A and B are shown apart, each in its own frame.
Chain A
Amino acid sequence: MKWLRDILDKIAPTFKASGKLEKLYPIFEATDTILFSTGERTHSGPHIRDSVDVKRVMILVVIALIPCYIFGAMNVGYQMAVALGQTSTLQENLMNGAFKILPIIAVAFASGAFWELLFAVVRRHPVSEGFLVTCALIPLVMPPTIPLWQVAVATTFGIVIGKEIFGGVGMNIFNPALVARAFLFFTYPGRISGDKVWASGPDGYSGATALAVPAAELSQDAVTLLDSVTQFDFSWINLFMGWIPGSIGETSTLWIMVGAVFLALTGIASWRVMAGAILGLTGMAALTNFMAEITGSTNTMLTLPAHYHLVMGGFAFSVAFMATEPVTGAHTDKGRWIYGIFIGGLTVIIRSINPAYPEGAMLAILLMNAFASLIDYFVIQGNIKRRMVRYAQ
């Protein structure tokens, strides 16, 4: 790779101060340091440094998403075949699915990169690797039927409003990928509200999503109802495996778990947030089940047990990859537990008690993003109080 290094070294002066393309330095710098690790040395402080950097952190998140991508492509292909009433092999599914989702990925990355680079050049800050993760997440939370222009608009909104207006990665309040999805959710609810299935198929092909099934019926048992669906296999194990229609990356709890465990082991994602969310979800689901029993409510969603909540809709995906985003979540360990528990609990509340949207994880996380600093505030006040008591002794 010496030839590439030589080329970069040769054109470097053009981008340095008083070079012809000085303004485009952030773009050159980003290309240079993505291709070759930075040659920067320590100046002050510790003379030696850990090998991990933000680039590594971000690229590992992208790597953790690869299983979801591969499964997502296969599932999209499979759902197409089901819709058309054909049988197909795994390879055919993968090929057909990849053909569907690659344009979405390409559009997300192209529009994301455009805005990130534009802001880097105009605002003269280095290109932040965070946009890689945002752009990798956005296609996974999009239905395969999404029009490409909507992907571009959503990515633009997510990157610009969700992140750049705050000053870039590290300063944002809301998770940019979720902002992108929420934007579509509220502006084009017909396509992305989560009550109709998203599968590429013949025109007019449709059906109810797993979450919409119990939401649509009164005074029934949710699990029996799901088992009685004939169009799709909504058994627990199939919901867990993910061979159901849905957004590209969110259906397979199994492969999401693989990515989540990887992120938790590397220490990039906080296991406390994930554990808290599962705890909150379980607790709240137990409460709604109990309520359904004692109040005799006609709301079927109240009877949905926790293990179904866990594998349905976007909960697993959002908790593993969105809630654990370190910047927009709580920053203290205690705060992360509370933040996670609330996300889990709110997801169930929005799903079962709010009749407008069958899906609740996205809104729960966005809401908790807004409250993360407040949670941290109370945790830190606790620390300050302890200290003040000690000082007073």
Chain B
Amino acid sequence: MNHIIIRKGHDIRIAGVPSQEVTSVPGSETVAISPKTFRGVKPKLLVNEGDTVQIGSPLFFDKAKPNVKWASPANGTVKTIQFGARRIIEKIEIKVDGSESIQGQVFTSEQLTSANRTTILNRILEANLFPLIRQRPFNKVANPKNFPRDIFISAVNTAPLSVDLDPVIESEKAAFQAGVTALSKLTDGNVVVTSKKAMELQHAEVQTISGPHPAGNVGIQIHQSKPIKPGEIIWSVNAQHVITLGKLFLNGSYSPDILVTIAGPGATNPQTVSAKVGARIGSLILNQDLSEPTRLISGNVLTGQTVEVDNFLGFYDSSVSIVLDTVDRPFMGMLAVGNSKSKYSITNTFLTFGEKLFNFNTAQNGELRAMVPINAWENVLPMDVYPNALYRAILAQDIEEMEQLGMLECDDEDFALCSFSCPSKIDVGKVIRDGLNMLEAEG
């Protein structure tokens, strides 16, 4: 079995680590999906305000790929469809009422093993769950017409304050196995599952990985095991969504519940809860005391989006991070020795060896500057890519050089730690995303 050791990278010692025990919270009264957040998708509505929907009934589809539809995570009525500028569909909000779901064909594990690609693909498409599958390069919703080289599943979360996937997969082993078996039909290559410890799985190639974040990012795992080449397409599915797909085949219906961590220095009660995809943020943080000014983030602190209480959990997100939004301005802060709870650095430029966990806030801790290459990016990027050169190729809009430097193997989430550690406060991840957009537009 292949074992990958990641040496470059960093596990941020952020306070507010969630207990992995699942706490029950009252279900969200409304859930929502935001069509505009899906990269490269031209959404077209299939429902109107006031329509009744069931769990699994389609809400909208992609004009470019009409058979790719998005399932409703709840049973109830469509409360609002909110449009933004230029009729962009901001969100489709559903008032939850009951738990009826659309029933489809149930597969036994033997049927699943002997099924062919068309059967499996059609079942996923007709259950409106295809958007759970994303593709590399570009990290966007996959195209069912493509034949992926391999399908990668990361069974390890290394992002700050994320759900520990080991017990989740352990407790849903049958569904996870069913999901893996189903996915293995969609590729002529392998389903590659990367986990912390060895795992008994059929119809998949299991590899193990050790090391700090971003070891758990599927992009890093692909790069370290079998890097993507131009023209190749790789699909990836979040481990929790593999379970969702497995349950679809075993039970015949969509189970939209996933485990979500509510964590961070601003969380007074860091915990793991079970929630619906697209749950209202307010419903997830009911037992957190938010009297201090805090920033709510759907997703992890490195790559998540700022949200308000009335917003909703992102489609692919499985954490709500809460960081303090109070930024103080210490006198002569640049001379601080740093042995405090607030000065945290990957570099040894502060004496912070003694502290274990740090109360991060939203301070940028410096101003934007030209890059000063002290290896801050290279030390946290476990890829055979020169981030510095790539960054400059993107700024110069040199498509050819970008490709040569490995742009296709990169994704902004893998570069989030570079932005975190950059002394010049450059948002490297955003620039990488710009580069990918340029490359995609070029064809």
Bound Cα distance A44, B376 (Å): 19
B367-A126 in contact (CB<8A): yes
- Return the CB mask of A4-44 against B: 1 if under 8 Å, else 0: 11000000000000000000000000000111111111101
A59 at the binding interface (Cβ < 8 Å): yes
Rounded to whole Å, the gap between the CB of A153 and the closest CB of chain B is 27
B66 CB-CB contact with A under 8 Å: no
Is B372 part of the binding interface, using a Cβ–Cβ cutoff of 8 Å?
yes
CB-based nearest B residue for A385: B404
Question: Can you show 16 pairs from A to B with CB atoms below 8 A apart?
Answer: A36-B331, A36-B333, A45-B419, A45-B430, A47-B304, A47-B321, A48-B362, A50-B420, A50-B421, A53-B423, A54-B424, A169-B370, A169-B372, A332-B386, A383-B385, A387-B404
Of A100-108, A189-197, A265-273, A349-357, which stretch is located at the interface? A265-273
Contact partner, B295, options A35, A47, A49, A169, Cβ 8 Å: A47
Q: Is A110 an interface residue (CB 8 A)?
A: no
Contact of B375 among A37, A47, A267, A376 (CB under 8 A): A267
User: Does A47 lie within 8 Å of B301, measured CB to CB?
Assistant: yes
* B252 in contact (CB, < 8 A): no
CB distance from B280 to the nearest CB of A (A): 20
The verdict on A56 contacting chain B, using a C-beta distance below 8 Å, is yes
Assuming the A-B contacts A36-B331, A48-B362, are A170 and B372 also in contact, with contact meaning beta carbons closer than 8 angstroms in the complex? yes
**From DSSP, what is the main secondary structure of chain B's interface residues?**
loop
Q: Please give, as numbers and ranges, the residues of chain B lying within 8 Å of A379 by CB-CB distance.
A: 386
User: Roughly how many angstroms separate A298 CA and B405 CA in the complex, as a whole number?
Assistant: 51
Residue ID in chain B nearest A335 by CB atoms: B386
- List B residues 1-60 near A (Cβ within 8 Å): 12, 14
Per-residue interface assignment for chain A, residues 66 to 89, with 1 indicating a CB less than 8 Å from any chain B CB and 0 otherwise: 000000000000000000000000
**B364/A41 in contact, CB under 8 A:** yes
Considering only CB atoms and an 8 Å cut-off, how many residues of chain B contact the other chain?
Answer: 73
What are the residues of chain B within 8 A of A45 when measuring CB–CB? 416, 419, 427-430
- Out of B302, B325, B349, B378, name the residue touching A46 (CB < 8 Å): B302
Closest to A376 in B: B389
- On chain A, the number of residues with a Cβ less than 8 Å from chain B's Cβ atoms is 56
What sequence of 0s and 1s flags, for each residue 317-346 of chain B, a beta carbon within 8 Å of any chain A beta carbon?
000010101011111111100100011111
Whether, in the assembled complex, A294 has its beta carbon less than 8 Å from a beta carbon of chain B, the answer is no
A-contact 0/1 string along B262-273, CB 8 Å cutoff: 000000000000
Query: Which residue of A has the minimal Cβ distance to B404?
Result: A384
Q: A residues engaging B (CB < 8 A)?
A: 1, 4-5, 33-42, 44-57, 59-60, 126, 128, 167-171, 265-268, 270, 326-327, 331-333, 376, 379-380, 383-384, 386-388, 390-391
User: Are B361 and A48 in contact (CB-based, < 8 A)?
Assistant: yes
**With contacts A170-B424, A171-B370, A387-B406 known, is A47 near B389, CB below 8 A?**
no
Contact B370 A52 (CB under 8 A): no
CB-CB under 8 A for A326 and B372, given A36-B329, A51-B345, A55-B366: yes
Q: Is B306 an interface residue (CB 8 A)?
A: yes
In the complex, are the beta carbons of B370 and A380 less than 8 A apart? no
Closest to A393 in B: B229
Name A54's closest neighbour in chain B (CB-CB).
B369
Question: Which A residues touch B229, using CB under 8 A?
Answer: 390-391
Bound form: Cα–Cα A266–B347 in Å:
6
B residues 291-329 near A (Cβ < 8 Å) are: 295, 297, 301-304, 306, 321, 323, 325, 327-329
- Does B114 sit within 8 A of A, measured CB to CB? no
Task: List the interface of chain B (C-beta within 8 A of A).
Answer: 12, 14, 227, 229-230, 295, 297, 301-304, 306, 321, 323, 325, 327-335, 338, 342-350, 360-367, 369-376, 378-379, 384-386, 388-389, 404-406, 416-417, 419-425, 427-430
- Is A53 a contact of B365 with CB atoms below 8 Å? yes
**Once the chains bind, are B334 and A326 in contact (CB under 8 Å)?**
no
Q: Which 5 A-B pairs have the closest CB atoms?
A: A53-B366, A170-B370, A37-B333, A45-B427, A48-B360
Complex CA gap A111/B172 in Å reads: 69
A35 to B425, CA, bound (A): 19
Measured between beta carbons, the chain A residues less than 8 angstroms from B333 are 36-37
Instruction: Other than A51-B365, A376-B389, give 18 A-B pairs with Cβ distance below 8 A.
Output: A37-B329, A37-B330, A41-B325, A45-B416, A46-B303, A46-B420, A46-B429, A47-B302, A47-B323, A48-B360, A48-B362, A49-B363, A50-B346, A51-B349, A52-B366, A169-B372, A265-B348, A270-B375
The residues of A that contact B427 with a CB separation of less than 8 Å are 44-46
Complex contact A39–B363 (CB within 8 A):
yes
Q: Does B372 lie within 8 Å of A41, measured CB to CB? A: no
Whether B349 contacts A268 by the Cβ 8 Å rule is: yes
Q: Which of B227, B297, B332, B372 lies in contact with A54, CB distance below 8 A?
A: B372
Closest residue on chain A to residue B427 by CB atoms: A45
Give complex CA distance A127, B68 in Å. Answer: 52
A331 to B373, CA, bound (A): 6
A60 and B349 in contact, given A50-B344, A53-B425, A170-B372 (Cβ under 8 angstroms) = yes
Asked if A267 contacts B349 (CB within 8 A), the reply is yes
Taking CB atoms, residues of chain A closer than 8 Å to B347 are 50, 52, 266-268
What are the residues of chain A within 8 A of B342 when measuring CB–CB? 51
A202, B349: Cα distance in complex, Å: 44
The chain A residue with its CB closest to the CB of B331 is A1
Q: How far is the CA of A142 from the CA of B424 in the complex (A)?
A: 31
Q: Within the complex, which residue of B227, B367, B423 is in contact with A40, where a contact is CB–CB below 8 Å?
A: B367
Q: Is the CB of B295 within 8 A of A51?
A: no
| Contact in complex: A170, B371 (CB < 8 Å) | yes
Residue pair B367, A333 in contact (C-beta under 8 Å) = no
Which single residue of chain A is at the shortest CB-CB distance from B380?
A: A50
Shortest Cβ gap from B136 to chain A (Å):
15
Separation of A4 and B329 alpha carbons in the complex (Å): 12
Could you tell me the distance in whole angstroms from the C-beta of A247 to the nearest C-beta in chain B?
Answer: 26
A39 touches B372 (CB 8 A): no
Contact of B332 among A35, A51, A167, A169 (CB under 8 A): A35
A168 to chain B: closest residue by CB: B370
Distance between Cα atoms of A335 and B306 in the complex (Å): 40
Q: What's the Cα separation between A167 and B329 when bound, in Å?
A: 29
Are B334 and A56 closer than 8 Å at their CB atoms?
A: yes
A333 and B375 contacting across the interface, CB-CB below 8 Å: yes
- Complex CA distance for A358 and B365, rounded to whole angstroms: 45
Contact B362 A57 (CB under 8 A): no
Residue of A nearest to B346 (CB): A50
